[in-house]
Each structure stands twice: as structure tokens, then as C-alpha cells.
Structure 1
Amino acid sequence: MTNEIEIAANSVLLVIDVQKGFDDADFWGPRNNPAAEANIAALMDAWQGSGRPVVIVRHASRQAGSVLAPDGPGYALKDFVAERAGRAALHVTKSVNSSFYGTPDLADWLTRQNAAQVVVTGIQTNMCVETTARMAGNLGYEVLVPLDATHTFDLAAEDLPDAPRLTADQLATATAVNLQGGGFARIVTTGRLVEAARTRVTP
């Protein structure tokens, strides 16, 4: 696999679930990668500044008591995304992990845009980001995942014997191995994507 990154003129940046509810540390526990938000913002600016499309995905939880419930304050986009949301090409609402099971239909929109490359960012690394990237890979898209533009939280399997727990960093590493090792996506960095996206798209 080549180390060079080529960003298509209509490469689509997916910004997944960057919502205020994920700031509730009492609900989620310890997180990783405090630079995630700044990196997501840099990618949004690079994509929108070069005329490439940004898709904003938001999670509307159906679980009782969720901090991402659509009628609660945590459903709102984080401020830095909300400030850039007016220039987004598409807004998708979902209630499951995959952004491809939302409204409006993401795959249908990508087909109409003749888009073949997607860049997947957001929250949580090992949940909605990984699930969306896996499905995008299965659907035949070229998928790039800047791991440093994602974050997640420590997680325990409470119902398993001894309740094994992984830290957020361990889960992010597992996601990187799953996606690239499994052939679903290519793991890259925000800096390399921003550099590669500097060429402006001609309208």
C-alpha cells in the first residue's frame, strides 16, 4: 500500500456524533485524545475551504436516560461543529452505530454525488466511527480514518466473567488494527490529510 495520500475532488468528510452529550464525563468515564476536536475542526476547514463536501451525522438515542436523547441538551452539536454546520453538504440523523442506517440515506446521497472516497471522523472511535468505516469498506468506498480526529472512552464488559476492561487508548488501537488489518480502511493522520487536501476544487 502506498504511503501517499490522494484526496479526490469530491472526497466526503464524515463528521460523526460530535455532540455535547459526549462531554458528560460522569456518564461516559475517562476518554482519550484531547486533540480530537481540534483535529476535526482542522479537517472541516480544509474540506470546506477547498470546496469538498462535509456530511454531519448526529445520533438520536432511543435509550431511556441517554445524554444523546433528541429532546435533551446533549443532542446538540458541539459549538465548533455547529459554527461550521451551515456549510455542510448533508445532515444525517441516526439511532444506531452505522451512519449508513440514517435519514436521509447516506449511501444514496454518495451515489448521487458520484463519490468514491470517504474520510471518517468523530465519536466514538470503536463504536460509530469503526462501524461506519467497516460498512463503507464493505460497500466499496475508499475509506480513510484519521484516528487522531476521533476519540472514545474506557469500556468494561460488565456481564462477562471478571468484567474485562480496556482503556480508551487500547480500544483506539484495536480499531486501527481492525480497520487497516482487516482491509476496511486506511489509518492516516489529520496533518497528512490537511496537507493533501490543500488543492482547491474548481467549482
Structure 2
Amino acid sequence: MDKYVAKTAKTPSLVLMFGGTFDPIHHGHLRCALELTQVLPVKKVHLVPCQLPAHRSQPSATAEQRLEMLNLAIAAEPLLYGDDRELLRAGPSWSVDTLASLRQDYGEQQPLAMLLGWDAFLGLPSWSRSERLLELAHIIVLARPGQMHEPAEEVLQLLDKHELQAGESLNASPAGRILRLSLPSSFEVSATYIRRLLANKQSARYLLPEQVLDFIHQQQLYQSKH
């Protein structure tokens, strides 16, 4: 158990928001989500496929296909939940809107946290209504050794003001703190790499669940257009 997040009977469990294109969902996403429930006091992880990514290209698979793959992958994990709220919302998928929606669902006192990779966190000041994010939720930053570029001054100020300190508990307050966390496995799997393998008619087995791979083949997804 992490020294920052010891669970006690007096503190509620966290609700986590884990967003992404999930195009397709793979073992990197799934292992990360599962390990979060093992190292943090978590009662639910909302895996939220985005409709229109604000900072990257449009997904290859449809919203319905990506949600179906997600649900196939997490069917046996009771703490993981496929959340379609961004797919049902028109326009770009802004994290602040999703957090506001989750906050409305769970109430003002529920500890709520958004998961970000280190590189995404470095770009946080440029996000839509970024100042509102920490009013709505905590931020958990997944740090991977060897991939940690130096933060800009604005990000350093955020860490100085909001980073969780030793002896503090992330689930002791509803929002407002930043936790840098390294997960035990921290292995890299890229959806881009998986799509490239499939486009080249090469095997992607063991990079994503078999039921997801079967669905991809049934739907003829990620095939080369040439």
C-alpha cells in the first residue's frame, strides 16, 4: 500500500476517471486500471472512451466499436466500468466536462480523481478550463522512469501548490491534490503499434485480450486500405 494512500475506516474510497480513445483497448490500459485498484483505496474506475479527442486525431474505430471492445475486456472485473458519457455528448471531449458530470453523479464529498500520464500532465496548463480541474477532482500522474521530461515553470508551480505530501491521504478530501505514482508493472503497449501490426496482417496476440482481438477480426478493423 502506498504511504500516501493508506485506507482507513473513516475515509471513503476513491472514484477514478481513466479517459482515452481506447482504439483499441489493450493490456497496458487494463493492467494500469487493475493495479490502481490494488495500490489505492478505489471503489470504481470509470474507463471513459472519448468521442472527439481534443488533442489527437480521430479514432479509427467507431464510438460503438470502441465501447464494445472496452466492455468485452472488462467484463470480469467488477471495479472497472465502461462509461459512455463522452460518446453521448456532442462535440470535443473535454475532461473538465466529464469530471463535472461525475461530480454531479457522486456529490460534492466523494473523493474523485482523474488519471493522466506524465506527458499529458506536462500539457495541462493548455487544457480547456484547466484551472477548474483541481476544483473538481484530484489528479493522479503516472510517472514512468526514463520518460519524464522536465516540467515548465507553470507545471512546477502546480506541483508546489497541490502535490500530496508524505503522511497525507488522497482519499481524505474530495479534490485538489496531485499524486505522482509509479505502478508495479509500468509496461508499455501502444494502440498505434497494435493498429500497425493489424494493418500489416501481423499478429497482435498477447498485447490485448483475446475477446477484443476476436471482435477486431470479426469487424475487420484496422485493416490496411491499400
Q: TM-score w.r.t. structure 2 length? A: 0.46
Higher normalized strand content (fraction of residues): 1
